[in-house]
Amino acid sequence: MNNIGQAQAWNGCIFSAGWKTARGGTEPVVEPATGEKIGTIGIGSAEDIDSAAVSASKAQKAWAGVPFDERAAIMREAACLLKERAQEINDWNVRECGSTRPKAAWELHATYEQLQMAASLPMQPDGTLYPSTIPGRTNICRHVPVGTIGVIAPWNFPILLGMRSVAPALALGNAVILKPDAQSAVAGGLLLARIFEDAGLPNGVLHVIPGGPTTGDALVRHPKVGMISFTGSTGVGRTIGEICGRMLKKVTLELGGNNAIVVLDDADVEAATSSGAWGAFLHQGQICMQTGRHLVHRSIVERYAQRLAERARGLAVGNPFTEQVHLGPLINEKQRDRINDIVQSSVSAGATILAGGDYKDLFYEPTVLAGVTPGMPAFEQEIFGPVAPITVFDTDEEAVELVNSSAYGLAAAIHTHSLSRGLEISSQVRAGMVHVNDQTVNNEFHVPFGGMGASGNGGRFGGPVNVHEFTQMQWVSLTDKPIQYPF
């Protein structure tokens, strides 16, 4: 066994210009699969956030002046350390967050790619030369750091979704205060703080302060924090957006989704059900890009439903730390009860359970619902659990209408034999990401990622667009000889 359960330097602490006792007290780290306490984390208070913001503001000025190759070298060293400590990080991801081994390994590798991508950002062109209507003037528009960026990360993919903002923000010369969710604070925060500390990041540039809503609210409202990058629920995102709007603070919101897979009449049913099962059940469905609605043409819906149910019944559910399973536990009882209420309410409204529909402790069976129609909870709500609701359509136009009936607009998938048909439908779908002959849960570190509508405020992560997200534009004009004006 590794370091889990043993005394740790971060035990009960936060990382803020060194390891410090948290003023907000401590909380136990509880393993969802067993209910066992496996550690203790410190919880940041408003005072901790204030101290971190002051420290970060001072450290950022020097950090922004560090040559780009030195900043890049620290990012690359952090990437190497992430790989070296893979077993420890993955074990915490499995036990603390309920991840299966393959999911944890994929998340770590994707985070490694994010770090390597971030290392390349400081050496990219950081300005544009514009012509001028005034003779002798040179116009330069360049990217400058925001200053201190607050990152609020979720518990489902805590390492990747935290580092997706932290790494590019640091690489581009900002200081960062990361607030990981208390349910994933070790894997998604404290272990990452150790990595950057050992990689040589200057003291005070990165702060990691776990906590809940009170900690997050203090971070969002602090005047020395110039930007918030939030990944989480749409409800909380709306509140953060309102606060940042009043403060005229830059904000990036990556929110929820009710993502649809559209299976047309000419689709390969075997391939479509594989995509449908993966998108619906991966990580117990606890993914913002989860395939939450399965829209299937009437001519093939029976075959699709039967095959998807067979796939669901073939998936093993259990403790991912001690067993080889496909699905681990849900994160907590509140999530389990909410998911079960959606299922049971939809059944009461006329849906039929073809597979699953039951649970033991926090282990929810992969569930397939047939006969789901608009208005049912399983159609209208973001489920965030291992449930695949199936809805019938008759025409391409009806399928598009069903997809766009949701306020969310994060991801969608279309299965068809005709790429031109898939491309045409994709142009009508209101979603930030559309995948033809694939499923909705997709991420590539260099491709812009983000949603529309209730799924986000239009910001994007990934590759060069990170430069626009985590900097501000500054116009500098230069004239060798001062201009003389009429007065």
- Which whole-number Å values give the CA distances from 158 to 195, 292, 305, 467, in the listed order? 15, 21, 33, 22
Is 77 a catalytic site residue? no
Q: Which residues contact 25 (CB under 8 A, 6 or more apart)?
A: 42, 43
- 346-355 LR contacts (CB < 8 Å, sep 24+): 346/372, 346/376, 346/377, 346/378, 346/379, 346/389, 349/375, 349/376, 349/377, 350/376, 351/376, 351/378, 351/389, 354/305, 354/306, 354/308, 354/309, 354/312, 355/308, 355/309, 355/310, 355/312, 355/313
3-state secondary structure at position 404:
helix
Q: What angle do CA 350, 351, 357 make, to 5 degrees?
A: 130
254, 365, 382, 469: which is the annotated catalytic residue? 254
288, 365, 382, 469: which is the annotated catalytic residue? 288
Return the amino acid letter for 58. K
DSSP line for 198-245: HHTPPTTSEEE--B-HHHHHHHHH-TT--EEEEES-HHHHHHHHHHHH
Is 288 a catalytic site residue? yes
- Which whole-number Å values give the CA distances from 9 to 47, 191, 296, 387, in the listed order? 22, 10, 52, 40
The dihedral through the CA atoms of 267, 269, 274, 276 has a sign that is positive
- Taking each helix axis from N to C terminus, what angle separates 68-84 and 101-120, rounded to the nearest 10 degrees? 170
- As annotated, the active-site residues are 254, 288
